[in-house]
């Protein structure tokens, strides 16, 4: 099984080789900023940036090859021949189409389990927990990088698959109708899991029922023996007929994978996980209820892969650190702890984060910085008003900074006694938060990625001075 000229010529039409030096290890990148020595650069003409403009830069950084659009051939012709020596240089009609075609054909070469994880929240965390379980079980596997869950990201990760692997774990993300069908046609998963369905990307996906329908398309290409895994606590998933076997996880006793006796002790989640007829004690190192759901989802996948219950529990108890998903950081000048949860935000994830923050037992001053929840469509005002009502249940949170436009609706429903400030942007929030933070404060920063609150997180985070 080789990634070579024969493979490419059989997959891609109108392909032309200007250089045929294939690297020993095949790895692709589309990002000129992070490309590593030996990686093959796929130049993509994007809306804001054209990767073809970075070809010389990536060659100087040690790229082993370039895939480029044939219409950009003139850029290659002007490059110093010394930079092009011993490189793989491939001209195609369209680099995105070529990347997808290569990934689809490469995936078809493997027979081991390929698991797809999708859902409105919890995809990345669930994938990382599964990876931890596989590691403690000494199972060689591939897990997709970070949140590379789009058509391009999935394709890049498929091309990392090797014969030595025993399993592959991918996350799939969608933002508009039809996206899931495209992804599963590329990945062709042998089993798939839906973590949950929530109010995310409603502008592109529609109502909650529409979102659930699109998520269920992850099972689109299933055969009768293929197995789907769903959140059995959600009727919108559980009360649907499927043409294939289904495993359910959740808190209800009707689920095959369950959590019981959940409680927060010293900031950790303690519970009993029931895997069919077997029960195990488990502890997760955070107070977030969503972490239990993610653990159950991961356990369902691991059980499907015939991993022992002991190794499942051992793996899911391993700490995971996913950037901007309830990620703990120290505040500069020893002023306390900051929780970054600003990768994305939906009504469900906002509620979970605030209640998790409320459960943290501390005498420190608690501050919540809440940004707009984007892509909620015409119901956005309603959901932002609901956010204020959620704070009535988080009684230990008495200091709030609202960032953006839609959160002005939240301000109208805040409970009496909550001190609230309103900032138009993350830049405007800097001074307000700086004045509000006291020594040993506990700060939650949560909002949609488009609100750029990660910049606020970086501003107040303790800087790593190590080299």
- List pLDDT tens digits, range 238-280: 999 999 999 999 999 999 999 999 999 998 999 999 999 999 9
On whether both 340 and 287 belong to a single domain, the answer is no
On whether both 268 and 311 belong to a single domain, the answer is yes
The CATH number of the domain where 116 resides is what? 3.40.1190.10
pLDDT reported for residue 336: 95
On whether both 40 and 162 belong to a single domain, the answer is no
Q: What residue numbers bound the domain in which 48 lies?
A: 5-93
Q: 155-196: per-residue pLDDT in tens?
A: 999 999 999 999 999 999 999 999 999 999 999 999 999 999
Average predicted confidence (pLDDT) for the chain: 95
Band of residue 326 on the pLDDT scale cut at 50, 70, 90: very high
On whether both 147 and 213 belong to a single domain, the answer is yes
Look at residue 179 and tell me if it is in a domain.
Answer: yes
Q: Which tokens hold the place of 71?
A: 């219409």
The last residue of one of the domains, among 60, 93, 126, is 93
pLDDT reported for residue 467: 35
pLDDT at 58 over 70: yes
State the DSSP H helix or E strand holding residue 214, giving kind and residue range, or none if neither: helix 208-216
Q: 3-40: per-residue pLDDT in tens?
A: 999 999 999 999 999 999 999 999 999 999 999 999 99
pLDDT reported for residue 201: 84
Q: Is residue 38 within 8 Å of 27, Cβ to Cβ?
A: yes
Mean pLDDT computed over 63-79: 97
On whether both 233 and 177 belong to a single domain, the answer is yes
Checking DSSP bridges between strand 327-331 and strand 336-341, what pairing results, if any? Answer: antiparallel
On whether both 312 and 337 belong to a single domain, the answer is no
Q: 364-411: per-residue pLDDT in tens?
A: 999 999 999 999 999 999 999 999 999 999 999 999 999 999 999 999
On whether both 125 and 78 belong to a single domain, the answer is no
On whether both 309 and 237 belong to a single domain, the answer is yes
> What is the distance between the alpha carbons of residues 322 and 299, in angstroms, rounded to a whole number?
18
Number of domains the chain contains:
3
Look at residue 465 and tell me if it is in a domain.
Answer: no
pLDDT reported for residue 466: 45
Checking DSSP bridges between strand 227-231 and strand 278-284, what pairing results, if any? Answer: unpaired
Q: Which residues of 93-124 are buried (b: 16+ CB within 10 A; e: fewer)?
A: eebbebbbbbbbebbeebeebbbbbbbbbbbb
pLDDT reported for residue 323: 86
The CATH number of the domain where 65 resides is what? 3.40.1390.10
pLDDT reported for residue 353: 95
Cα 348 to chain centroid, rounded: 16
pLDDT reported for residue 202: 82
On whether both 242 and 197 belong to a single domain, the answer is yes
Mean pLDDT computed over 90-113: 98
Look at residue 103 and tell me if it is in a domain.
Answer: no
pLDDT at 465 over 60: no
Look at residue 423 and tell me if it is in a domain.
Answer: yes
Q: What counts of helices (H) and strands (E) characterise the chain? A: 18, 20
pLDDT at 65 over 70: yes
271 closest CA partner among 288, 254, 256, 255: 288
On whether both 167 and 234 belong to a single domain, the answer is yes
């Amino acid at each position: 099984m080789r990634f070579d000229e024969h493979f490419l010529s059989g997959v891609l039409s109108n392909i032309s080789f200007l250089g045929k030096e294939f690297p020993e290890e095949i790895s692709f990148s589309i990002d000129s900023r992070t490309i590593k020595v030996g990686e093959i650069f796929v130049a993509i003409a994007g809306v804001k940036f054209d990767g073809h403009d970075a070809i010389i830069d990536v060659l100087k950084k040690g790229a082993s090859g370039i895939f480029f659009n044939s219409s950009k051939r003139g850029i290659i012709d002007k490059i110093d021949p010394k930079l092009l020596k011993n490189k793989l240089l491939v001209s195609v009609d369209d680099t995105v189409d070529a990347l997808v075609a290569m990934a689809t054909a490469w995936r078809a070469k493997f027979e081991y389990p390929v698991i797809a994880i999708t859902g409105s929240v919890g995809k990345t965390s669930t994938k990382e927990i599964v990876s931890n379980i596989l590691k403690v079980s000494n199972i060689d596997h591939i897990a997709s990088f970070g949140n590379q869950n789009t058509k391009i990201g999935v394709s890049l990760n498929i091309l990392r698959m090797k014969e030595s692997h025993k399993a592959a774990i991918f996350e799939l993300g969608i933002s508009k109708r039809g996206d899931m069908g495209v992804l599963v046609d590329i990945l062709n998963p042998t089993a798939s899991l839906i973590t949950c369905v929530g109010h995310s990307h409603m502008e592109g996906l529609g109502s909650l029922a529409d979102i659930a329908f699109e998520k269920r398309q992850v099972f689109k290409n299933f055969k009768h023996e293929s197995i789907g895994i769903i959140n059995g606590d959600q009727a919108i998933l559980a009360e649907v007929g499927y043409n294939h076997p289904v495993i359910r996880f959740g808190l209800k006793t009707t689920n095959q994978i369950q959590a019981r006796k959940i409680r927060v002790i010293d900031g950790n989640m303690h519970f009993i996980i029931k895997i069919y007829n077997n029960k195990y004690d488990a502890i997760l190192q955070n107070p977030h209820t969503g972490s239990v759901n993610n653990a159950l989802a991961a356990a369902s996948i691991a059980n499907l892969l015939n991993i022992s219950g002991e190794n499942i529990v051992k793996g899911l108890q391993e700490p995971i650190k996913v950037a901007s998903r309830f990620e703990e950081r120290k505040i500069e000048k020893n002023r306390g702890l900051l929780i970054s949860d600003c990768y994305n935000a939906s009504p469900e994830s906002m509620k979970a984060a605030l209640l998790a923050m409320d459960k943290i037992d501390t005498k420190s001053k608690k501050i919540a910085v809440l940004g707009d929840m984007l892509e909620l469509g015409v119901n956005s005002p309603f959901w932002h008003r609901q956010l204020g009502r959620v704070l009535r249940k988080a009684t230990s949170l008495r200091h709030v900074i609202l960032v953006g436009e839609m959160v002005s609706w939240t301000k109208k429903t805040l409970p009496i006694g909550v001190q609230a400030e309103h900032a138009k942007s993350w830049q405007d929030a800097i001074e307000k938060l700086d004045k509000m933070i006291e020594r040993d404060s506990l700060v939650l920063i949560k909002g949609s990625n488009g609100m750029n609150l990660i910049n606020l997180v970086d501003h107040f985070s303790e800087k790593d001075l190590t080299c």
